[in-house]
A and B are shown apart, each in its own frame.
Chain A
Amino acid sequence: MSELLKKEIKKRDRAKMLNVGFDVEEKQRSASYTLLNDQEIGPRTSSRAIELLSIGRALEKYPEFMKKFLWKLVKGNKDEYTQSVVNARPVGYFIRVKPGHKAILPLQSCFYIKAERFKQEVHNLIVMEEGSSLNVINGCASADYVNAGVHIGVTEIYIKKNAYLSYTMIHDWSEEVEVRPRTGIFVDDHATFVSNYISIKGSKITQSYPTCHLKGKDSSGVFNSLIYAPENSVYDIGARVILDGRDSRAEVVSRSISGGGQVIARGELIGNKKSIRAHLECSGMLLNNKGSITAIPILEAHHPEVDMSHEASVGKIAEEEIYYLMSRGISEEEAISLIVRGFLDTKILGLPPAIEKEVEKTINMLDHSF
């Protein structure tokens, strides 16, 4: 199968894909799904416990099942972007992990735009059956030779009792690409959803505000993001977590740096049940006065016995820290890059080892950004 990927994916695109964690060689991966513009390659899986189909194929194979899950967590008429996905020919993946199966190796997917001004419209569905566990790494990128495009991705995720899903997204888009993910997550009793979002190259606009429904008791949702916004880029990102299950827990942590771009970091926690715990943490660092960072934390409580908090801080990079490092013989640029990389510490993500390396590589690419 790697042979097919190698045949279909041109050399010059492979490096870019590798940057966002997608390995054409499929080393250390349990399954792969690739979307080049609107052409689907694969999908293929090496494990019988992980079902991976194109969404079109899944609709043919399981029409009733799909009807039960699609467009329930994200409404088709939510906005013009979801509406355009409703009207498009369905492309995207369907992932279902069998009950009790705990996948060791991550499943990888890549959404790749390789034609100028291409509008990529995607619909994904993930169903984690009871007691299952999976790490997904999604690489989203456009080719170097592409300047403008649109990526709209609707993703609906169901995590049943005692199941676990970690969902890591690494983005690397061209300057004029518009990125509009629309995501809904349902989390049942004792189940966990972890989202990691890493984007350090910017794009015209990235706008994402997933809603996570912690319906089950003792369920948990974690949203981490590491953002670097270069000049001329806009990020409007965050997460909303609705804590409906008793003892459910949510954590939203965002670290963003503006190197001249605009960042709006949102977070919304809604506590509805007894003994829920939720924390929102948003730190921003400005490297110059060309950009801006706006932190918008919202806490909403509907039960007296909730424990909800937030911390937000935005400031410029500490000169004192730069000079401290310079006094040890480190150049100003290198000092800034060290502090920036320290600020975007991948250790906060708690990634599985196979993915951690990819993410670290991505963050290290920042060295060439100053």
Chain B
Amino acid sequence: MPILEIRNLFIEVEGKPILKGINLTVAEGETIILFGPNGVGKSSLFMAIMGFPKYKIKKGQIIFKGTDITHLPASDRARMGIGMSFQRPPSIKGIKLNGLSEIINSDKDNGDRIDYYSKMLKLDQHLKRDINLGFSGGEVKRSEIFQLLLQNPLLSLIDEPESGVDVENISILGKAIKRLLHKEDRLTKRRNSGIIITHTGLILNYLNADMGYMLIDGCLTCSGNAREIFELIQKQGYRECQNCLKKK
């Protein structure tokens, strides 16, 4: 059984149609990469999978582990095993990163995880600060992956983890995401899956993806080897992809 199955999904944001008939299947343990030009709706797809009402599902279904979650609230989806690293998360005054970490970690029996993962992502000094408030761009990205590691979801939606991050920190993030997606485990034991959005492709230097997809004009086109698709975009840009789409 696939971990995630999206069937003919149509999404509208503020009355504007964004996604027009998405079909996507993610298998257990699979890592896929999502490409596409700015503003095409990649983040919107994540928001819809996570369950944010602003991203209105006009048609279609989202199936997670065989259950139709199309109309479930985000918190239920999170508890079932979906997690998201935001491209631009909000900052929240008065709630400490530590406080949120403890809530996320409360259903795990191991309290040391907060300590361990915060050190791994160089965030131990940030735990006592308000969530994301005044965090630098790179710190925000590390904090998102840190929270995902605590959550340890079956399906991680990772939105541009390496945008605006320096070389050293990309390496930290790359290793953390590898851990998150069970990349060290053998294929047969690998349970966690992930969808990663990237423009730079740098994350591919740290982990192997099973598949790549291209989102253009509200539809998923061009599936294939992630690295090959990335190289194609580097060479030709998205314009060629659009032309290719027209020919089809």
Q: Do A and B truly interact?
A: yes
Is A352 interfacial (CB 8 A cutoff)?
A: no
* Given A323-B52, A325-B100, A327-B83: A332 and B93 interface contact (C-beta under 8 Å): no
Which residue of chain A is the closest to B78 with respect to CB atoms? A329
Interface centre among A327, A339, A341, A345 (most CB of B within 10 A): A327
> Interface size on A (CB < 8 Å)?
22
What residues of chain A lie closer than 8 Å to B83, measured between beta carbons?
A: 327-328
Q: Which of B84-92, B117-125, B222-230 contacts A (4 or more CB under 8 A)?
A: B84-92
What residues of chain B lie closer than 8 Å to A345, measured between beta carbons?
A: 93-94
| Bound form: Cα–Cα A319–B51 in Å | 13
| Bound form: Cα–Cα A319–B92 in Å | 11
Partner pick for B73 among A320, A326, A328, A342, CB 8 A cutoff? A326
Number of A-B residue pairs, CB cutoff 8 Å, is 63
Partner pick for B84 among A320, A327, A332, CB 8 A cutoff? A327
Interface centre among A319, A320, A324 (most CB of B within 10 A): A324
Partner pick for B74 among A321, A327, A344, CB 8 A cutoff? A327
| Bound form: Cα–Cα A335–B73 in Å | 13
Which residue of chain A is the closest to B82 with respect to CB atoms? A327
Q: Is B90 in contact with A332, judged by CB distance below 8 angstroms?
A: no
* Given A318-B90, A320-B90: A326 and B95 interface contact (C-beta under 8 Å): no
Is B147 interfacial (CB 8 A cutoff)?
A: yes
Chain B interface bracket (under 10, 10 to 19, 20 to 34, 35 or more) = 20 to 34
| Bound form: Cα–Cα A176–B99 in Å | 37
Shortest C-beta distance, A256 to chain B (Å), equals 14
Q: Is A328 in contact with B147, judged by CB distance below 8 angstroms?
A: yes
What residues of chain B lie closer than 8 Å to A325, measured between beta carbons?
A: 92, 100
Is A343 interfacial (CB 8 A cutoff)?
A: yes
What residues of chain B lie closer than 8 Å to A296, measured between beta carbons?
A: none
Which residue of chain B is the closest to A345 with respect to CB atoms? B94
Shortest C-beta distance, B60 to chain A (Å), equals 21
What residues of chain B lie closer than 8 Å to A354, measured between beta carbons?
A: none
What residues of chain B lie closer than 8 Å to A321, measured between beta carbons?
A: 90, 92
Q: Is A327 in contact with B50, judged by CB distance below 8 angstroms?
A: yes
A320-360 interface mask toward B, CB cutoff 8 Å, 1 = contact, 0 = none? Answer: 11011111111110010011011111000000000000000
Q: Is B95 in contact with A323, judged by CB distance below 8 angstroms?
A: no
What residues of chain A lie closer than 8 Å to B94, measured between beta carbons?
A: 339, 341-345
What residues of chain B lie closer than 8 Å to A320, measured between beta carbons?
A: 90
| Bound form: Cα–Cα A332–B76 in Å | 10
A:116-154 near B, CB below 8 Å? none
B42-80 interface mask toward A, CB cutoff 8 Å, 1 = contact, 0 = none? Answer: 000000001110100000000000000000011101110
Partner pick for A339 among B84, B86, B95, B103, CB 8 A cutoff? B95
Is B31 interfacial (CB 8 A cutoff)?
A: no
| Bound form: Cα–Cα A256–B79 in Å | 32
What residues of chain B lie closer than 8 Å to A319, measured between beta carbons?
A: 54
Which residue of chain A is the closest to B157 with respect to CB atoms? A327
What residues of chain B lie closer than 8 Å to A344, measured between beta carbons?
A: 94
Partner pick for B92 among A324, A326, A329, A332, CB 8 A cutoff? A324
Q: Is B75 in contact with A332, judged by CB distance below 8 angstroms?
A: yes
Q: Is A327 in contact with B78, judged by CB distance below 8 angstroms?
A: yes
Is B104 interfacial (CB 8 A cutoff)?
A: yes
| Bound form: Cα–Cα A324–B54 in Å | 13
Is B151 interfacial (CB 8 A cutoff)?
A: yes
Shortest C-beta distance, A205 to chain B (Å), equals 28
| Bound form: Cα–Cα A327–B54 in Å | 14
Q: Is A342 in contact with B90, judged by CB distance below 8 angstroms?
A: no
Shortest C-beta distance, B182 to chain A (Å), equals 20
What residues of chain A lie closer than 8 Å to B99, measured between beta carbons?
A: 338
Shortest C-beta distance, A254 to chain B (Å), equals 15
Shortest C-beta distance, B138 to chain A (Å), equals 19
Which residue of chain A is the closest to B81 with respect to CB atoms? A329
| Bound form: Cα–Cα A57–B85 in Å | 66
| Bound form: Cα–Cα A325–B50 in Å | 12
Q: Is B93 in contact with A329, judged by CB distance below 8 angstroms?
A: no
Q: Is A329 in contact with B104, judged by CB distance below 8 angstroms?
A: yes
| Bound form: Cα–Cα A339–B91 in Å | 11
| Bound form: Cα–Cα A324–B93 in Å | 13
Partner pick for A326 among B75, B86, B93, CB 8 A cutoff? B75
Question: Using a CB–CB distance below 8 Å, which chain B residues touch chain A?
Answer: 50-52, 54, 73-75, 77-79, 83-84, 86, 89-90, 92-95, 99-100, 103-104, 130, 147, 151
17 residue pairs bridging A and B, Cβ less than 8 Å apart: A321-B90, A324-B86, A324-B89, A324-B92, A326-B73, A327-B77, A327-B78, A328-B103, A328-B147, A329-B75, A330-B75, A332-B75, A339-B92, A342-B94, A343-B93, A345-B93, A345-B94
Given contacts A328-B78, A330-B75, A335-B75, 20 further A-B contacts (CB under 8 A): A320-B90, A323-B74, A324-B90, A325-B92, A325-B100, A326-B51, A326-B78, A327-B52, A327-B77, A327-B83, A327-B84, A328-B83, A328-B100, A328-B103, A328-B151, A329-B75, A329-B78, A338-B95, A339-B92, A343-B93
Question: Using a CB–CB distance below 8 Å, which chain A residues touch chain B?
Answer: 318-321, 323-332, 335, 338-339, 341-345
Counting from the closest, the 5 A-B pairs by CB-CB distance are A342-B94, A329-B78, A326-B74, A345-B94, A342-B95
